[in-house]
């Protein structure tokens, strides 16, 4: 008994110490946030003749990051918003204090960020900076296709002597589970419409179907052709010459890159820094070259006078701002799911609620819907589309497609007054599927069995404990067929196309933005800024308007609440082989987790149409 009380007392003391430590850590954390969040920070210093340092080492997202990770003591954020980059670069082009831009680092794409459509908008901003007569210096080490695509806009492009351009071409490598499912006793039954609707293939096949291979090959060719055209223009080459180098080298070493004029020179980083020191008036100085990070410059870029066509535009952090009128940019970025949705998801209930508020807000004169989504729940997509149809009746709705606007992502786009996309946007995929899992064999292998009592023939049809009967599968197929027909009708109505035309270009097939314009699924090629300008014009605002973004960055108290509920935001993962494998599996499992349509019917791209 004495030992029992001694052990219990020791455990209580340890618990008290642990709890006290947690409280102290939490109080310290709150104090740190309060110190950062309370009071105004001094504006970043900008010496005349400085270079804006554009460090690519982040994930470029369409929507603003929900939380500013810099407040947690990190040296930099792991994400940066697309418009933060483009507005900063365009302001820097007109800022006589800025002498040039230095591009360095490697992108760290995650989820649906840093897609080729977003990168094309960044590259366009770099080209505008260059067109203003200011130099861009870029330095590469181990550059991926995405890194090189941005860097190729530079006026002076250098690569480390032991670096490499890893640009062998584009590839898509889906993972297939059918063999593993068969081995472990998991059965899958599917219903779908559209011969190109390939989402279910990883669960039912061990390789790509001919139809899927056909559509992915065409998509990759379109995107790759667009990349080569842009790079060739930046480097003064032809796409054919770049392709010849890519095919001859695969992984392009520095000497080969210089010989093919893909880079201007081979140099060590310290040589580049010495050049920049000389250009910024600090030659032979012990100080670094005059510089300001792009993130810091973005904070003061709003003080730089805008071009005449941009006069009057002003970003506002929240609703209710005054002025001659507001344009709301609403970001649909991530999987479309029923309910509220998590961070990185487009929750049907939450998103439609925001659209409803904007519809009822008289100060909001137009809405730009920015879509960067592969789709998801059909019912959630319809919930969102319903609000867009209502919104369209009272104010202009312009759709700006990002890197992905496919399947459910196209569903919510179809009724826009005007749809803009980039050539490299992945869109279309007008098709529907249902997927039913059966773990009976797996459970039986472990000695687990199931039985049931029911009050109707189909009472237990939504179960994973047994295979579905032919009658049950017929029910699911009827549901899929009905939703597919609804999808076709909505696209035909929203896009003012003949139903037979939509039926022919649907079938679950994905298209590039370039092809989508030809097919009538998209109106024109253009980025987010072009969509905003069009919305202002349609609303009769000219160049005098304020801009509000949804979702917005969270206030301090919201960040604290999130911390209490979920802990600190997750930082970027490692880049080693094990980390990449784990991230791939986790991503695909997370996608399955987002499958919460109450009818089990989805309008989504293939499981992971990953292009690298």
Spacing of C-alpha 436 from chain mean position: 28
DSSP SS3 for 179: helix
DSSP SS3 for 161: strand
Alpha-carbon gap, residue 102 to 546, rounded angstroms: 31
DSSP SS3 for 8: helix
DSSP SS3 for 574: coil
Residue 494 burial (CB < 10 Å; 0-12/13-18/19+)?
Answer: buried
| HEC per residue, 188-229 | EEEEEECCCCCCCHHHHCCCCCHHHHHHHHHHHHHHHHHHHH
Alpha-carbon gap, residue 471 to 465, rounded angstroms: 17
Name residue, tokens 């740190």.
32
Active-site residue among 197, 277, 279, 290? 197
Spacing of C-alpha 611 from chain mean position: 13
Alpha-carbon gap, residue 308 to 266, rounded angstroms: 40
Q: Which residues contact 85 (CB under 8 A, 6 or more apart)?
A: 54, 60, 122, 125, 294, 298
Cα of first residue to Cα of last residue in the chain, in angstroms, is 66
Active site residue 57: no
Q: Which residues contact 239 (CB under 8 A, 6 or more apart)?
A: 225, 228, 229, 231, 232
Q: Is the bond into 543 cis (omega within 30 degrees of 0)?
A: no
Q: Which residues contact 321 (CB under 8 A, 6 or more apart)?
A: 363, 546, 548
**DSSP alpha helices (H): ranges in 98-209?**
116-131, 145-151, 178-184, 201-204
281 sits in which H/E element:
none
Name residue, tokens 């202002």.
536
Alpha-carbon gap, residue 144 to 140, rounded angstroms: 10
Sign of the C-alpha dihedral, residues 214, 217, 220, 225?
Answer: negative
Alpha-carbon gap, residue 135 to 129, rounded angstroms: 8
Active site residue 407: yes
The 10 Å Cβ neighbour count of residue 562 is 16
DSSP SS3 for 511: strand
DSSP 97: T
Alpha-carbon gap, residue 395 to 172, rounded angstroms: 40
Active-site residue among 198, 407, 429, 594? 407
Angle at 227 between CA 221 and CA 228, to 5 degrees: 85
- Backbone torsion region of residue 201, taken as left when φ is above 0, otherwise alpha when ψ lies between -120 and 50, otherwise beta: alpha
State both tokens at 20.
Answer: 């006290």
Alpha-carbon gap, residue 509 to 80, rounded angstroms: 31
The edge-to-edge listing of strands for the beta sheet with 335-337 is 187-193, 432-438, 601-604, 375-377, 335-337, 345-347
Residue positions annotated with a catalytic role: 197, 407
């Amino acid at each position: 008994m004495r030992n029992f009380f001694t052990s219990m007392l020791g455990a209580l003391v340890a618990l008290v110490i642990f709890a006290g430590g947690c409280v102290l850590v939490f109080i310290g954390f709150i104090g740190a946030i309060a110190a950062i969040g309370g009071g105004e920070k001094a504006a970043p210093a900008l010496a005349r003749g400085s270079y804006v340092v554009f460090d690519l080492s982040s994930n470029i997202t369409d929507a603003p990051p929900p939380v500013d990770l810099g407040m947690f003591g990190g040296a930099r954020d792991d994400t940066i918003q697309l418009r933060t980059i483009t507005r900063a670069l365009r302001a820097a082009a007109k800022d006589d204090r800025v002498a040039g831009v230095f591009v360095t680092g490697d992108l760290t794409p995650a989820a649906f960020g840093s897609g080729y459509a977003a990168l094309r908008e960044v590259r366009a901003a770099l080209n505008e900076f260059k067109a203003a007569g200011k130099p861009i210096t870029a330095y590469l080490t181990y550059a991926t296709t995405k890194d090189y695509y941005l860097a190729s806009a530079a006026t002076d492009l250098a690569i480390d002597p032991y670096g490499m351009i890893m640009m062998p071409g584009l590839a898509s490598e889906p993972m297939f589970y059918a063999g593993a499912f068969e081995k472990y006793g998991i059965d899958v039954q599917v219903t779908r419409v559209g011969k190109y609707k390939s989402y279910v293939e990883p669960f039912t096949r061990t390789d790509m179907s001919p139809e899927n291979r056909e559509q992915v090959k065409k998509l990759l060719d379109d995107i790759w052709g667009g990349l080569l055209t842009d790079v060739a223009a930046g480097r003064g080459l032809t796409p054919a010459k770049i392709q010849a180098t890519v095919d001859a080298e695969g992984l392009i070493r520095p000497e080969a890159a210089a010989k093919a004029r893909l880079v201007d020179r081979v140099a060590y980083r310290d040589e580049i820094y010495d050049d920049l020191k000389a250009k910024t008036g600090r030659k032979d100085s012990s100080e670094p070259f005059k510089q300001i990070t792009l993130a810091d410059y973005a904070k003061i870029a709003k003080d730089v006078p805008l071009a005449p066509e941009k006069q009057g535009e002003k970003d506002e952090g929240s609703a209710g701002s005054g002025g001659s009128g507001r344009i709301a940019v609403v970001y649909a970025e991530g999987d479309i799911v029923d309910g509220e949705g998590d961070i990185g998801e487009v929750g049907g209930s939450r998103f439609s609620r925001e659209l409803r508020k904007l519809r009822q807000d008289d100060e909001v004169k137009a809405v730009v819907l920015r879509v960067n989504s592969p789709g998801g729940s059909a019912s959630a997509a319809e919930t969102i589309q319903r609000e867009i149809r209502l919104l369209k009746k009272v104010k202009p709705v312009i759709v700006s497609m990002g890197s992905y606007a496919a399947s459910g992502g196209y569903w919510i786009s179809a009724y826009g007054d005007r749809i803009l996309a980039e050539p490299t946007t992945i869109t279309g995929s007008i098709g529907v599927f249902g997927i039913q899992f059966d773990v009976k064999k797996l459970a039986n292998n472990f000695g687990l069995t199931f039985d049931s009592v029911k009050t109707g023939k189909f009472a237990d049809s939504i179960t994973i404990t047994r295979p579905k009967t032919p009658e049950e599968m017929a029910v699911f197929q009827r549901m899929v067929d009905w939703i597919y027909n609804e999808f076709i009708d909505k696209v035909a109505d929203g896009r003012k196309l003949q139903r037979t035309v939509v039926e022919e270009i649907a079938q679950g097939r994905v298209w590039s933005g370039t092809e989508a314009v030809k097919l009538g699924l998209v109106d024109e090629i253009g980025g987010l800024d072009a969509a905003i300008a069009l919305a202002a014009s349609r609303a009769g605002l000219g160049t005098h308007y304020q801009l509000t973004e949804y979702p917005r960055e969270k206030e301090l108290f919201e960040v604290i609440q999130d911390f209490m509920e979920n802990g600190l935001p997750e930082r970027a993962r490692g880049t080693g082989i094990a980390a990449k494998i784990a991230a791939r599996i986790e991503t695909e499992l997370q996608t399955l987790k987002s499958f919460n349509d109450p009818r089990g019917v989805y309008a989504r791209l293939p499981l992971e149409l990953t292009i690298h």
